[in-house]
Structure 1
Amino acid sequence: MVLGGLQLMVVLDGTVANLALAKVQDDLGLSDAGRNWVVVSYALAFGGLMLLGGRIGDRFGRKRMFVVGVGLFTLSSLLCGLAFDEGTLIAARALQGTGAAIASPTALALVATTFAPGPVRNQAIAIYAAMTGVGSITGLIVGGALTQVSWRWIFLINVPIGIAIVVFAIPALRETAPHKLELDVKGAILATIGCTSLVFGISEGPELGWDSGAVIGSLALGLLLLAAFLFVERTATNPILPFSLFGDRDRVFTFASIFFAGASLFCTTVYVAQFVQNIMGYTPLKAGLAFIPFAVGLGIGSALASKVVVRIEPRWLVLIGGVIMTVGLLYGSTLDGDATYLRDLLLPVVGIGFGVGFAVVPLPLCAVAGVGETEIGPLTAITQVAQTLSGPLALAVIGAMATSKTLSEGGTNGAPSEMNPMQLTALGNGYTFALLGCAVCAAIAGLVALFIRLTPAQVAQAQAATEAAQQHAV
């Protein structure tokens, strides 16, 4: 219960934050870049520190670090709910992502050590995985309802849940023996700060000017830190990113496709949520309900892809999914403030969801095809990191595109509630221009997948190996 509860809380938080952005921006007077940082700061910390978080659990004991991670997530949720300006909210969100990076990978490892091998463990793993789907749907409804009362409640609701998880976890979970291993703290910090610096430079460029010293310095620092990260990873005793895992050509293209598919999905949810609330005038609850067909389409696409992935080459499935996403997003980029949900949005929302589901099922299996059981865990973790980090990096670029479009048409960079009709039109055009960027990411994901030469038999073997790794995990 406690492990599934943590997964549910983390997924809920990611879902409801997108629905609350419009309210947060109005209440705290955030700029467009500041609004994006509310989601970016969480995702950067979560993705950048996830690999280190899992190893911290191995190093100091998984139960102990699970409790620490949940405690940090709970405390930072309280700070998010009490935030009084842009800086305090963004800092608290980064702290929240750090807590999730410690607790989430440790929770999955604890499933394997808490339950005995066989049907009991398999059922526990299935319940844990199901929390992702449950959290996504529930978050759309609960998050919309809470945001309608106050955006602060989407964070404050985590406090009693987090306390309950800690209270029940202490007697329910069994501690694992610590392992003496060297932690690549330097690599994790360099990667996270390097990505953050790049995102800052790109997202602030339209507002501060691309020739601004702060923008140029931030971009240069980000590139320097990422170069240092690559050097550290080549010399580290226990690197968080082993380069040996990238020796396979198919795997490299798989990670690239995962990156762009994740980028498209992340940015699409952000800008569709903004469009329906700020331009179409939807309440947060109505916006959440409007996303449910997307989840339904995703579920249907995933179910169908799971059945045919062992019969059809995975590159064709990813390409088909990418094409469907691209077409839907290109259509979305043509909409304006006169759009209606039933006439203009329902079918594209379902179609994009179906395309996402059809594309994302084969890719994780391609990442672990042809490797031993002991390498499946690290590769799966790197896949999750690629999906998580792709969002904030892409949102920096696509957000800069959207802001530049809005400003070029006479819009302003501020709260929509203070804009006149002409400025709102410019804002809406910026949102739909962002969907064009999302379409480009989806198209790249599909095209890159064409270079994956894995056969259905290899994917079926990877599927069986993944299930075996879960059953024999310790």
Structure 2
Amino acid sequence: MPETTAVKYPVTTRAFGLAIVVLGGMQLMMVLDGTVASLALARIQDDLVLSDSGRNWVITSYALTYGGLMLLGGRLGDAFGRKRVFIGGVALFTLASLFCGIAVGEFTLIAARALQGVGAAIASPTALALVATTFAPGPVRNQAIAIFAAMTGIGSVTGLIVGGALTEVSWRWIFLINVPIGLLIMGLAFGSLVETSAERLRLDVPGAILATLGCTGIVFGFTEGAELGWASPAVIVALVGGAALLAAFLVVERRAENPLLPFSLFRNRDRVATFAAIALVGAVMFSLAPFVALFVQDILDFTPLRAGLAFVPFAFGLGAAAFVASKLAVRIQPRWLVVTGTVITALGLLYGSTLDSSSSYMQDMFALVVVIGFGVGLAVVPLPLCAIAGVGQHEIGPLAAIAQVAQVLFGPIGLAIVGAMATSRTLSLGGISGPAADMTPDQLDALSSGYTFALLGCAIFAALAAVVALFIRFTPEEVAQAQAAEKAAQEA
């Protein structure tokens, strides 16, 4: 028996070692990639002469494939062996990063970003699953999970600084830097990870494809509508076709033998409201960063590094609120934390929508960035706990995964809607779509108005999240039980 345990859990004494370096390093690399892309958008648009819609696709193409295929990516590890699938996902992400770094035009960059998302969708959930099979239950696994989770916070902050610094040299380096890191992770993974047994499992490939294509159609319609015209046949076909594909996805999921989206998990109305709030908050977070980064670079003339540093207070505000929310969530109804956080966020964004080219960072934006970060932090901590409140231990994993997909996949839809608002506002004021470097002062004013109008769109999403959160009726006791069940599931 001891030999079986040793094989099943290669790490039994302390978490820190090559295995957690490999798994945590992958998580750090992918979080960094998501952060730095927003900072580099202005330079990418200028260098490749992207349209506004093309600029948005640099962000959304990655998130669509990542979110749409994440659940399927996790199942691939179960079906073919987690070590093998993890290395394959990292290899694909690394190769796609190389293609991003050498992209010569809009299409090649967007296609490479979509391929990056596929690699991330395979590697990220498999890495988290590998934590459970690599580290022995108890303190060792708890340490590993803590290190793995910390990579998200560390990556969010360091990505702002490192990404800004690399973009100062060339935006291509934010992608090319992944190549040596990815190769190192793959090399270490061969020796530090142990393969898991494969299961005979029918994969819901049609469901994953339909969900991804359906969301892509919706995003295409909103992204291109502002420039092509809302009556354009391509826009109408994309919106209608996207909705039809999502309807087909729901039909397939009801009949699938092993569905990505088990409908039995949605019988609780409070949980449905929770997923809706998670999606809306995800739209706010996903849409906010690109337009603030563009505003401070194109309008306030910040360098990429200075723009990255300007975001750091947001991370500190979010971290402070997350600490407060984690303590209060087991004492007061979580919906009031979510409502308070989203209202603070909405009011902050509403004020942000009044900024213009005469605004200054320290006087008009510094406190605002901290306040919005604090509001987001209050909202994002209770919601994942509500998603798993009142369920058995075996349902925690699927529900947590669905909550993550809801946040990631609705982000591009939110950005498409907010981006359409921004482009429409800019064009209506006599502005043009394209690089800011080629614009006259009047056109830059129109561009500035479009960027801040996008913040109004983010404020609307935050306000909707506040309304939806009112329908979440989970009690502090249920949230406390969810925390305990989540911890028990990690230690099992």
Give TM-score scaled by structure 2 length: 0.95
Amino acid at match of 1:70: V
Residue aligning to 1:395: 415
The 1-side partners of 2:468 and 2:290 are apart by 24
The 2-side partners of 1:258 and 1:224 are apart by 24
Residue aligning to 2:347: 327
Secondary structure of the structure 2 residue equivalent to 1:256:
helix
Q: How does 1:423-462 map to 2 (within 5 A)?
A: 423-462=443-482
Q: How does 1:91-110 map to 2 (within 5 A)?
A: 91-110=111-130
Instruction: Determine which of 161, 185, 201 is the counterpart of 2:205.
Output: 185
How many correspondences in the alignment? 472
Residue aligning to 1:271: 291
Unaligned residue ranges in structure 1 (runs of 5+): none
The 2-side partners of 1:379 and 1:232 are apart by 19
Secondary structure of the structure 1 residue equivalent to 2:90:
helix
Secondary structure of the structure 2 residue equivalent to 1:412:
coil
Amino acid at match of 1:377: G
Instruction: Determine which of 39, 50, 68 is the counterpart of 2:88.
Output: 68
Amino acid at match of 2:286: F
Deviation at 1:132, TM superposition (A): 0.3
Deviation at 1:385, TM superposition (A): 0.2
- Please tell me whether residue 161 in structure 1 is matched to residue 199 in structure 2: no
The 2-side partners of 1:445 and 1:210 are apart by 27
Instruction: Determine which of 205, 212, 233 is the counterpart of 2:232.
Output: 212
The 2-side partners of 1:440 and 1:350 are apart by 19
Query: Residue by residue, what CA displacement relative to the aligned partner does 1:424-450 show, whole Å, maximum 9, x if unpaired?
Result: 000000000000000011111111111
The 2-side partners of 1:447 and 1:230 are apart by 26
The 2-side partners of 1:219 and 1:267 are apart by 20
Residue aligning to 1:384: 404
Q: How does 1:123-202 map to 2 (within 5 A)?
A: 123-202=143-222
Deviation at 1:204, TM superposition (A): 0.5
Identity of aligned residues (%): 69
Unaligned residue ranges in structure 2 (runs of 5+): 1-20
Deviation at 1:274, TM superposition (A): 0.7
Amino acid at match of 2:238: S
The 2-side partners of 1:158 and 1:471 are apart by 32
The 1-side partners of 2:237 and 2:397 are apart by 37
CA RMSD of aligned residues (A): 0.5
The 1-side partners of 2:234 and 2:74 are apart by 34
Secondary structure of the structure 2 residue equivalent to 1:177:
coil
Deviation at 1:119, TM superposition (A): 1.1
Deviation at 1:363, TM superposition (A): 0.3
The 2-side partners of 1:308 and 1:28 are apart by 48
Secondary structure of the structure 1 residue equivalent to 2:207:
helix
Amino acid at match of 1:448: V
Amino acid at match of 1:328: G
Deviation at 1:187, TM superposition (A): 0.4
Q: Is the 8 A contact 2:137 2:490 kept in 1?
A: no
Amino acid at match of 2:243: L
Report the more deviating stretch, 150-159 or 441-450: 441-450
The 2-side partners of 1:384 and 1:260 are apart by 12
The 1-side partners of 2:91 and 2:487 are apart by 31
